[in-house]
Chains A and B, each alone.
Chain A
């Protein structure tokens, strides 16, 4: 307990201060009531995202730049937490942060596949990719520009020598070379990332391990379930492929659940047993195109609930910083939905059901 108090009091104070800056449901309703992108931008400037948006010049006020600035706040939150986290938990938080670098790596690889159509006289492929990358700052290990400029997936992957991704991709590259499809690379990256994250969680002890398992496990559950369901319902992969492309651990979701889905068991009953709050799964699965995003939304609500619960009780453990980071990420996801919806004039009814903050779990 003493270790917990001494190690966490500072970070706990800082995280609670940052937590207080997260948008409230009222803020999100106010933002989603904006009639257009410009109004949304002005309203967003009055929130804690203001300082990040103030630096944008008039010419730069476009959805891509605004999203990039919004992500910058999340990157700063990670930076603060990593700096202040106790030594023993820092590898876990750093690994959690790598999620965004995996996203960047996927974006770079996708750019390389479509690169010939992107290079024009006015913009290079790197110009196009740079804006969509998460601003990792000094934590980045990807030589992103050099990879994009290398022109081919093979050469780009060679540039990853010495990074945590080298080993993971060394196996998957053989399949990429044979199939010329990024799917095996992306799956390998995902599996490698979550395995490492879980391993870091299991290295913790006491309250840290217990609370870390709850948050990381809840995140993993959501991803693992969505993978299994997508592979089964949407990609129609075989049982053995689904098992190999998913993970055998989690918080609430057990390996037997994943294997049952892979073997063709009734998905709705499995989900309802794990999450009794989610009831209309069968209806959602009837049309995977529209149903799967809604199901994912339901999982995110469960995740949010788990994160909010972390703030109750003993505050001296890693669960609170982790929960704060996950909640911050969910908030950014909401904002991205809003920004894209407002800039593309998407009708309210098409995006509002996907906003988590306007309808948080009780």
Chain B
């Protein structure tokens, strides 16, 4: 739940005779993420015959697909014909060739006729702009003094072509306007024919190939072409009908052939990546531990002599090579989406989805606390989730609903209903309602202080989670001296204690910091000692990792190191302070929410007439839309910057199991 799905590394040793049966099981169940075993340093017996078979299947599959495309047939994944062995190329190939030849012969004729039709129509279009010119077309080709090019060019190049000929005498006509391929006529003196040709060529002006076989004026040629077009269309109709017949005749056979070859190709592709020994094959890969038992049973059924070694993968240690399959939970999908936008957890790393599922609505609700507006958001979120409104945002529907629910709870605690608070509720809504907890607009400093407290708790939790991840990764240098390591954690505590003692008697003083300060520990000494450790943490971490502690050499290098270390300490201090104060915004937005409501009430006036209620309605819509969005963004910012960055690294490899059907993407 808190981690990606547990994976088990599986090593299989398969007798050669069971190779296909095992490949079938592995490819067919969508739970096996294969690792290329040819990299494992196994004995290489030269180019495997399987590579050739995989290539043959691949080529054959493409040929079948091409034939199916010609017949307008789609690949049918739903009708998963069962298969026992891999397709025999010697049997399948002649069957494919038989159908292919028949289809190709008609397909080629059809293509030729279509090309001819296209050409004829193009010629017709080319002639249309000059249809009323009463000259012999051939005379254009035989001019003594003029160089002329009649052609088509990309519409985007027209202006450029004219610019490029600005210094050369020429005439340019657009004979037919077209947003993509206008027909143009370019004329110039024959003495400049080189320049004109170069310009036309570099502007991709393709000269028209006016039909030599047609003689006469454009009008006469157009008539002849129209007749030929009619004949060609008839031929095309006949050929299309033939193809439709073939489509009906071969639909089932082609689908069966395609499925057999597709399955065989998928299996051969998998086998190519098996490690080959003399009489056995070695397969290595990853399986979600929960699916291992079923897969093992099926493998044993397929090959009784198979050797299966399952190596459960501990979550501790470095696991960059372990594929990551995230637990998919419909209710957490929008939160998971936010997390994966930031990064995919690596194996063994804590998946922050659950944490974020709690903190995201919590922080949002604290900033946007209003019972009425929260319930509106909740309903809107549910409607969006169900696709009733704003379908494009349906993936965010649940997130909006969670935030709305949280905002409603905080609204109740703040005593705020659609912006009405305290005496306003009694005056306009007709009942008495006191905030059960506090009213942000009336208790500004306590709210700000509370927000900082909440931030401190979240940051401390993030530090602990960071350390937890480092322990699991057995990354001891970072556990001790990393930015979320023990040294920084204690330094942060000391920093809070000093802050607590400094602000102890003021209203803004964060109570967590004050509580830490009250612990009987020598915080000043701790701050100095751990401050020094923070200052030299880079060097100490290098030392723990076995690298040279200080980069650079000599006195200059050491001085530079000292300056850099001091800057590191200074930067750490600033960053701890800014991270902590960053959460003030939670309180500030809670206060601002009340302030915005007050502003709307001052616009609405005091008389509860129609204008008053319209202003309140519009004001509430504005707050829900505008402030809701801003608060959402601030919540996301707090998570991405202040929380996730403390303990979450990401960089996990996606789990991509072998499968025979197109895979649905996980989050």
Q: How many angstroms between the C-alpha atoms of A192 and B202 in the bound complex? A: 14
Residues of A within 8 A of B201 (CB): 175
Residues of A within 8 A of B551 (CB): 30
**Number of chain A interface residues as a range:** 35 or more
Q: Nearest B residue to A258 by beta-carbon distance?
A: B163
Whether the Cβ atoms of A9 and B637 lie closer than 8 Å is: yes
**Number of chain B interface residues as a range:** 35 or more
B548 on interface, CB distance cutoff 8 Å: no
Annotate A239-268 by CB proximity to B: 1 below 8 A, 0 otherwise: 111011100100000010001000100000
Q: How many angstroms between the C-alpha atoms of A84 and B633 in the bound complex? A: 12
Whether the Cβ atoms of A9 and B341 lie closer than 8 Å is: no
The contact of B199 among A57, A244, A248, by CB within 8 Å, is A244
Q: How many angstroms between the C-alpha atoms of A188 and B205 in the bound complex? A: 12
The contact of B341 among A14, A51, A57, by CB within 8 Å, is A14
B195 on interface, CB distance cutoff 8 Å: yes
Within 8 A of A (CB), among B143-165: 152-154, 156-157, 159-161, 163-165
Annotate A42-67 by CB proximity to B: 1 below 8 A, 0 otherwise: 00000000111011010110000000
Residues of B within 8 A of A84 (CB): 341
Whether the Cβ atoms of B156 and A51 lie closer than 8 Å is: no
Annotate B307-341 by CB proximity to A: 1 below 8 A, 0 otherwise: 00000000000101100000000000000000001
Tell whether A240 pairs with B636 under 8 Å between CB atoms, given A13-B641, A55-B321, A195-B156.
no
Whether the Cβ atoms of B629 and A171 lie closer than 8 Å is: no
Residues of B within 8 A of A52 (CB): 651
Whether the Cβ atoms of A240 and B626 lie closer than 8 Å is: no
CB distance from B194 to the nearest CB of A (A): 9
A274 on interface, CB distance cutoff 8 Å: no
The contact of A146 among B62, B154, B203, B341, by CB within 8 Å, is B62
Q: How many angstroms between the C-alpha atoms of A237 and B157 in the bound complex? A: 18
Whether the Cβ atoms of A240 and B653 lie closer than 8 Å is: no
CB distance from B403 to the nearest CB of A (A): 14
Q: Nearest B residue to A87 by beta-carbon distance?
A: B392
Within 8 A of A (CB), among B26-44: 39
B198 on interface, CB distance cutoff 8 Å: yes
B180 on interface, CB distance cutoff 8 Å: yes
Residue in B47, B198, B318 whose Cβ sees the most chain A Cβ within 10 Å? B198
Whether the Cβ atoms of A13 and B321 lie closer than 8 Å is: no
Tell whether A171 pairs with B341 under 8 Å between CB atoms, given A51-B650, A239-B164, A240-B195.
no
Whether the Cβ atoms of A248 and B653 lie closer than 8 Å is: no
Whether the Cβ atoms of B161 and A244 lie closer than 8 Å is: yes
Q: Nearest A residue to B625 by beta-carbon distance?
A: A6
Whether the Cβ atoms of B154 and A171 lie closer than 8 Å is: yes
A5 on interface, CB distance cutoff 8 Å: yes
CB distance from A228 to the nearest CB of B (A): 13
Whether the Cβ atoms of A244 and B629 lie closer than 8 Å is: no
Whether the Cβ atoms of A55 and B204 lie closer than 8 Å is: no
Whether the Cβ atoms of B204 and A10 lie closer than 8 Å is: no
Residues of B within 8 A of A255 (CB): 163
Residues of A within 8 A of B649 (CB): 51
Whether the Cβ atoms of A13 and B633 lie closer than 8 Å is: yes
Whether the Cβ atoms of A59 and B320 lie closer than 8 Å is: no
A80 on interface, CB distance cutoff 8 Å: yes
Q: Nearest B residue to A80 by beta-carbon distance?
A: B341
Q: How many angstroms between the C-alpha atoms of A182 and B160 in the bound complex? A: 22
A83 on interface, CB distance cutoff 8 Å: yes
Annotate B438-456 by CB proximity to A: 1 below 8 A, 0 otherwise: 0000000000000000000
Q: Nearest B residue to A247 by beta-carbon distance?
A: B160
Whether the Cβ atoms of A17 and B640 lie closer than 8 Å is: yes
Whether the Cβ atoms of B165 and A240 lie closer than 8 Å is: yes
Whether the Cβ atoms of A188 and B204 lie closer than 8 Å is: yes
Whether the Cβ atoms of B164 and A13 lie closer than 8 Å is: no
CB distance from A338 to the nearest CB of B (A): 18
Q: How many angstroms between the C-alpha atoms of A2 and B629 in the bound complex? A: 10
A286 on interface, CB distance cutoff 8 Å: no
Whether the Cβ atoms of A13 and B640 lie closer than 8 Å is: yes
Whether the Cβ atoms of B202 and A245 lie closer than 8 Å is: yes
Q: How many angstroms between the C-alpha atoms of A259 and B166 in the bound complex? A: 11
Can you give 12 A-B contacts (C-beta < 8 A)? A5-B630, A5-B633, A6-B630, A9-B634, A10-B633, A51-B651, A80-B341, A84-B341, A167-B180, A175-B201, A241-B202, A243-B160
8 other contacts beyond A10-B633, A54-B320, A240-B202, with CB at 8 A cut-off? Answer: A9-B634, A51-B346, A51-B649, A51-B650, A171-B153, A240-B198, A243-B164, A255-B163
Ranked nearest first, the 5 interchain pairs of A and B with the lowest CB-CB distance are A51-B651, A9-B633, A54-B320, A244-B202, A243-B164
